[in-house]
Amino acid sequence: MQNIRRRKPSESEPSKPPETNLPDSDDDTKTTQKGPKRESRKEESKKRKENKNKWSCVDNCCWLIGVICSIWWGLLFLYHCLPSSFPQYVTEAITGPLPDPPGEKLLKEGLTAAHPVVFVPGIVTGGLELWEGHQCADALFRKRLWGGTFGEVYKRPSCWVEHMSLDNETGLDPPGIRIRPVSGLVAADYFAPGYFVWAVLIANLARIGYEEKNMYMAAYDWRLSYQNTEVRDRSLSRIKSNIELMVATNGGKKAVVVPHSMGVLYFLHFMKWVEAPAPMGGGGGSDWCARHLKAVMSIGGPFLGVPKAVPGLLSAEAKDVAVARAIAPGVLDSELFRLQTLQYVMKMTRTWDSTMSMIPRGGETIWGGLDWAPEEGYDCSKKKQRNNNTLSASHEESGSYSSQRKNVFYGRMISFGKDVAEASPSEIKRINFRDAVKGSNIANGTCRDVWTEYHDMGVQGIKAVAEYKVYTAGDILDLLHFVAPKMMARGDAHFSYGIAGNLDDPKYENYKYWSNPLETKLPNAPELEIFSLYGVGISTERAYVYRLSPSMDCNIPFQIDIAADEGDEDSCLKDGVFLVNGDETVPVLSTGFMCARGWRGKTRFNPFGIRTYVREYDHAPPSNLLEGRGTQSGAHVDIMGNFALIEDVMRVAAGATGNDLGGDRVVGAPPVVSRCLAENRFFASLMLKPQGARVIATLGQSIWFSLF
């Protein structure tokens, strides 16, 4: 077979591609496909470039966090590198030379430590530590569960709530849990890092020679009822023995006691307990206070209760919480953070018996009724505050009284609806809730493990509360008994809220009356002086507009209605809350009335004529951020750093009397009411009668506030 060979082309001949028999249409298709692919690639690359230039929400958040962290670390670096006097230098460059702290000022005057000083902290400001707990609290022995950094709140919230709650039946420790107050000055010098309570006062006292041998922090578990602090911890006995020890080791010089907030009521209870015979009392005898106490300098004392306590018990909120609820709807009523919800807050705080000690006392006689209140004519318009050096001001200043303002019915402490709060008494149709039949149609199982007594009321019981429309101070106790019967059953055993008709009645020897200044007598200590020191010039909660919650299945059924607002800057109604003059927490009526009238001179509440003084401090906010919380604040807690107040306390501790301080210090007394001061005997005689306060209110507008 002949071999067929293919001739190899020479290098000079160009190579030809192999011929194919594909139709012409395929060539056309290839050509058309290459065009779109190139265009799509170009578009994709263009989009990639555009996306690189665009920032997503995550990018923006990361950038913002980075900027904040950079600024923070930069400021922290400067804070540690710059001299400690730099903030003061900048502040003085802006505002002028700062006054010397009271400690420095009084040291230059030659004042030194004289009388021992006892501090009595108020509610929530004292630290609490764990001594025994459940398994979830392992490794927390003697660690603070309240105060300090509050780290356990977000690390193990359910465990924290479980341990901070008390037994709902006894008001004492639940089984297997022991939380006790921190001891020493560190118990309440700072509430949290950087947030002082007693620290500024302690530091200034130290400048004139005070130390722990002549200063004592009377720490106690502020969750308990006052008598139960003795039953469980012997707190009252320890206060008694420490005062006796300090008086004995300081040459017999009597003690100056400085209680703050609820600590004022606690020490009022102590003064009756220490005189009472054992076992109910301390067995110190009727002259114990006369032998051991020089002065009681009450700071922000809620002698007659606090209206703010009512919404706290009713719906676990106040003005700030209600506003926060509106800003972030549903968050405070959801399981977003598991236990940081109002339902769990209510579950916990309703086991704290001390909260019931702040319920307003005296009923309608003190706080007003449907058609009247002692604050009638109060002017809520805000004027520029000056400083604390002015002891009086014209009635045109902030916190004055005017008959030309729109009348506000402050006596209506709770109103369901803005229209009800402003209606005339004859227009209000009320359906009595006291005999309403409660139901159980709100199943506790649907509410997970959250339990409040609202789940036992049912829809009919909740609607009955709203249909009563208006609650005065006389109705508040019945309301709380209706919505929280177990809580109030414990409260009835430890506190009372009335006005005594006959203080010689043997029933008033029971400890439940000892913290109510309207149902007890001051001790037999004629040389003792009692001061009421408090801030003024800040809008303070007095009455509330409520509504039913949109959903009542598991949520708290009542809410402050922040939509109830006049929309006027000078209005007394803001975000569902009616405001009056006070220290942002306690109205002037509660802080000032007893020392201004109820105890002034010899009255049935002060039969031995203990001298009383009122010292007001007009609020002046800090002029710049470097001043921190300010040195002229009148706010309920910030006043603890008020230089004028600290100076008054230090002078009394160094030996001064109330007359040495200049007597009463009154801010902004209206001239028409100031004339009534000359008729003090007339007011004192009225105070001898149970209904005297109501008579005073009928004499004319603001007549109660002759010192306010």
Give per-residue pLDDT as tens, 354-398: 999 999 999 999 999 999 999 888 888 765 444 444 333 333 444
Of the residues 353, 583, 648, 664, only one is catalytic, namely 583
| Average pLDDT estimate for 339-363 | 86
| Average pLDDT estimate for 65-79 | 79
Residue 592, pLDDT > 60, answer yes
Residue 27, pLDDT > 60, answer no
Q: What percent of the chain has pLDDT over 90?
A: 55
The pLDDT value given to residue 378: 83
Candidates 59, 514, 459; CA nearest to 273 is 514
Alpha-carbon distance values, 313 to 109, 265, 480 (Å): 48, 19, 8
Residue 8, pLDDT > 80, answer no
The pLDDT value given to residue 590: 96
**Does residue 261 have an active-site annotation?**
yes
Question: Angle 344-153-483 (CA atoms, 0-180°, nearest 5)?
Answer: 15
- pLDDT band for 437, please (50, 70, 90 cuts): confident
Q: What percent of the chain has pLDDT over 70?
A: 74
- pLDDT band for 187, please (50, 70, 90 cuts): very high
**For 130, which DSSP code?**
E
For residues 549 and 419, which has the higher predicted lDDT (pLDDT)? 419
Q: Could you give the CA distance from residue 378 to residue 404 in angstroms, rounded to a whole number?
A: 10
The pLDDT value given to residue 92: 57
Please state the separation of Cα 468 from the chain's center in Å: 28
- pLDDT band for 406, please (50, 70, 90 cuts): low
The pLDDT value given to residue 151: 77
How high does pLDDT run on average in the chain?
A: 81
Residue 314, pLDDT > 70, answer yes
**Does residue 481 have an active-site annotation?**
no
**Does residue 583 have an active-site annotation?**
yes
Q: Where are the domains of the chain?
A: 69-98, 309-705
Of the residues 261, 354, 357, 532, only one is catalytic, namely 261
Reduced to 3 states (helix: H, G, I; strand: E, B; else coil), residue 531 is strand
Indicate the range of 215-219, 305-309, 376-380 predicted with least confidence: 376-380
For residues 89 and 645, which has the higher predicted lDDT (pLDDT)? 645
Q: Could you give the CA distance from residue 383 to residue 380 in angstroms, rounded to a whole number?
A: 9
Indicate the range of 39-48, 189-198, 424-433 predicted with least confidence: 39-48
Q: Could you give the CA distance from residue 138 to residue 133 in angstroms, rounded to a whole number?
A: 7
Q: Could you give the CA distance from residue 16 to residue 205 in angstroms, rounded to a whole number?
A: 108
Residues 431 and 464 sit within 8 Å (Cβ to Cβ): yes
The pLDDT value given to residue 393: 36
User: pTM for the whole thing?
Assistant: 0.82
Please state the separation of Cα 649 from the chain's center in Å: 23
For every residue of 444-469, DSSP letters joined together read: GGGGTT---GGGGTHHHHHHHHHHT-
Of the residues 292, 636, 664, 702, only one is catalytic, namely 636
